[in-house]
Amino acid sequence: MRVGSGFSFVNNEQLNLQSTTFAALIGAVVDALLSAAGILSERDTFAVSDPRAQLKKIELRLHYDGFEIRNIDVTFSTAVPLAPEHLNIWKNELRKPLFLEPDQLTLKQYVLKKLPYLQVQAIALIG
């Protein structure tokens, strides 16, 4: 088993933009998966304009390298609570290209009132 982590940050003034938060989520998950596989230095080779295509490309690389994604745990630390419906949508958007079952991906949030930014932390377990 291998573990990797990834982080992203979003300025609180941009929190009303769902796409910005989703992009930060994708960035943290991408970094977590690549660091777990030991290929974070190759991150630029996975850069594509569509985040779903980027996730699919990484899943394919992990598969060819003999890895299977076992679990991804994502934590949002934010001053403003994220809507549960957005978390559910994002969870489904992440699961599909990575071929994850619902119990293999966890998204949770901690509301810290004085936090000046949104932090996204992802931890990936591959085997």
Domains of the chain (ranges, CATH numbers): 2-126 (3.30.1330.50)
Report percent pLDDT > 70 for the chain.
94
Tell me the residue type at 118.
L
Q: Rounded mean pLDDT of the chain?
A: 91
Residue 122 has pLDDT above 80, yes or no: yes
Cβ atoms of residues 22 and 51 within 8 Å: yes
Cβ atoms of residues 78 and 113 within 8 Å: no
Quick check: helix, strand or coil at residue 39? coil
Cβ atoms of residues 46 and 88 within 8 Å: no
Residue 11 has pLDDT above 90, yes or no: no
Higher-confidence position of 120 and 19: 120
Tell me the per-residue pLDDT of 30-72, one tens digit each, with 9 for 90 and over: 999 999 999 999 988 888 778 888 999 999 999 999 999 999 9
Report percent pLDDT > 90 for the chain.
69
Residue 12 has pLDDT above 80, yes or no: no
